[in-house]
Structure 1
Amino acid sequence: MGTPLGDFVRAKRDSIQPESFGLPDHGRRRSPGLRRSDLATRAGISVEYLTRIEQGRDRNPSPAVVSALADALSLDAAERDHLRYLAKITGGACAGHQRPAPPSRHVRSTVLATLQLLEPAVAFVTNRLGDVLAHTSGFELVMRGSGLLETREPNLTRYVFTDPRARTFFPDWDQVADEQAFDLWLGPSAESSEWFKAELAPLAGQEFTRRLNRHLPPPQVPLRLDHPTAHELRWQRERLELPRTDAQELVVLLPADETTAQAMERLRRPGGTLRAIG
């Protein structure tokens, strides 16, 4: 049985074309991407050791080996952080049988004040499980009619995978689903993510579970929404990490084109208010 770390290393290796590293193309192979022997050489480890890591038979590589693999795979800063996180949870940080306390839904007053300053922009506070913890009136305008905010404690991940309306609201549903599944690897904690995934899997089905072994960050692309009255809206997203103790982030949606900006002007009404979700 594989591990998050092994799955990531193997998936990343398969995504790399040998010629991008100045290596010869060995012709048609059963598996795409970089050969295991080439990666092992670049990392300074044996092919046997790399095989054990990828197959989940070695769950505790040293920090030096993890760094060597990051160098060998030419990972960027975000991917390096993700690799270290996967090494941590693969080494047993998720062990335990008691359900952890759910992440706090409390949003600090200064964060709420920041949201208020962003009005009437489209912004919300969330965590890596997808909980929508607070939002601007602009966000409510954009999400109106989608079904996301109809529950007492809205959760974007649960909405994407269990509400049929999400497939219409998000024209690029596969991209959004990949993003939400990937975020579960990043927190708020390994324990809470594992419990959330275990609870969601029976409801969400194969579209969710088959994404749980994909550990490559999805590409960063504009977010498209099929709004019930404003039609297609396109957004650029800025995600601002809050302090680790919050385990939350502030997400701001910025119009990606003039058509979206004009559509939002038509949707807005005076007197927008901030809403925090308790």
Structure 2
Amino acid sequence: MTPAPSPDPDPAPSPSPSPSLSPSPSPSPSPPSDQEHVRDLLARAVRDVVPGPVPLAAVRRAGLARRRRRAAGLSALSVLGAAAAVAAVVVLTPVRPSPAGPAHAAAQPSTARTPSPPPSRTPPPTPPRAPDPSPVRVVAPGERVDAGQGYTVWLTEEGKHWNGPEEYENFRSAVDGNVDTSEPGVSHQSEGGPAGAFHSGLYYGTRTAGRVELTAPGGRTVLATLLELPGRPGWGVWYAHTGPGVGETAVTLYDRAGKRLAGLPA
């Protein structure tokens, strides 16, 4: 079967005759605006200006002047800081007066100074020496005292009592009127033999008896022992022993200061 022919497409329209075109007049240019006019004037002015030489010397001088001013400002600040530090040191540091110079010394009248004598070094005064403690032994009435070598001595208110190896008793009164207690004095009794002697006696008329001393013919001395009753009645008893061949002895009474008060020759 034969296919049917497809319909032709729409035929292209035939061109219509173009009307005759007459040349249109060209548009007239628009007047320039104010900005463009100013720019144009400036451009012309710039084109007409011839630049001069650069003032390098003036620029350098201006730069140096600025640097000097800056350096002067920094120096001033440094000086102010140093001055403040010096002022602080001056305030905190005590000022000591400087010694007078030659001119000042010349202006002052010269005065001779007499050197003062050195202080005397006098030793402090020695306090008065206290008297030695009493060498006297105080015994109770009737108290028996061993005098050595078989002898015994005791005191009563009436006077001195003693006995020896033979055990017989002796007595010497201190209140029978034979002893003057108003002034210092000493008595002496002795017994013994070639083997030695026992010496004793009274001392009286003083309350500061220091010692009773026996002196042999050859100059040998012997110290006696002193006995007193309580209350310092103004008298006491002394006794001592001498060796064989001593013979007779002198008796001397001294006070505590060493002053001789009374004595008996040999």
Structure of higher CA gyration radius: 2
Q: Which has the higher contact order (CA 8 A, sep 6+)?
A: 1
Q: TM-score range by the shorter chain?
A: under 0.3
- TM-score w.r.t. structure 1 length? 0.20
Q: Whose helix proportion is higher, 1 or 2?
A: 1
- TM-score w.r.t. structure 2 length? 0.21
Q: Whose strand proportion is higher, 1 or 2?
A: 2
